[in-house]
Amino acid sequence: MRPARGPAEVEAALELRYRVFCEEQGVTLAADQDGRDPEALHIVAFDDGRLAGTCRVVFDDRLARLGRMAVEPDLRGRGIGAAVLDEAERASRHAGAERIRLHAQTVARTLYERAGFEVQGEEFLEEGIPHVTMEKSLA
């Protein structure tokens, strides 16, 4: 787990996101690639040299906005998502963020709850998928 090193690793992360969000879940490419990737910190996880998981963090003053968490389908259930989340949290603290916020797909809510995130508000639909806003204090 680490921040992406260079454009090739960011491109690999975008390709993984495309397969997971667009092909598997039916999210539009415009919704996934919203123009914020150039300013984001991309976290990547590798398994035997293969990109296994990713997420991105966009910073807004002292708030880290975590999103686009994706894990290769055949590698799910191995703790990769939790490890990517831990690295994103570490990097967010290092960058000076005091809080981290995300929109969790409700099917993944327990992953974030185990990491100390708390639900903020009601369930909502994003790209037709049920989500909840979750937040964690880093200070």
**How confident is residue 113, by pLDDT bands cut at 50, 70 and 90?**
very high
pLDDT, tens digit, 9 for 90 and up, residues 54-83: 999 999 999 999 999 999 999 999 999 999
- If you classify domain 2-98 with CATH, what class do you get? alpha beta
Average pLDDT score over residue span 82-101: 96
The ranges assigned to domains in the chain are: 2-98
Q: Is the dihedral of CA 106, 134, 89, 64 positive or negative?
A: positive
Under the phi-then-psi rule, with left for phi > 0, alpha for psi from -120 to 50, and beta for the rest, what region is 128?
left
For 119, how many CA atoms within 13 A lie in the half-sphere containing its CB?
A: 13
d(C-alpha 9, C-alpha 118), whole Å: 31
Q: Is pLDDT above 90 for 39?
A: yes
Residue 44 CB contacts under 8 Å (≥ 6 apart), including other chains: 1, 2, 3, 4, 9, 12, 13, 51, 53, 54
Tokens of 45: 């996880």
**How confident is residue 42, by pLDDT bands cut at 50, 70 and 90?**
very high
What's this model's pTM, rounded to 2 decimal places? 0.92
Q: Is pLDDT above 90 for 32?
A: yes
**How confident is residue 133, by pLDDT bands cut at 50, 70 and 90?**
very high
Higher local confidence (pLDDT), 33 or 57: 57
DSSP H helices, 2-120, are 7-17, 29-32, 80-94, 109-114
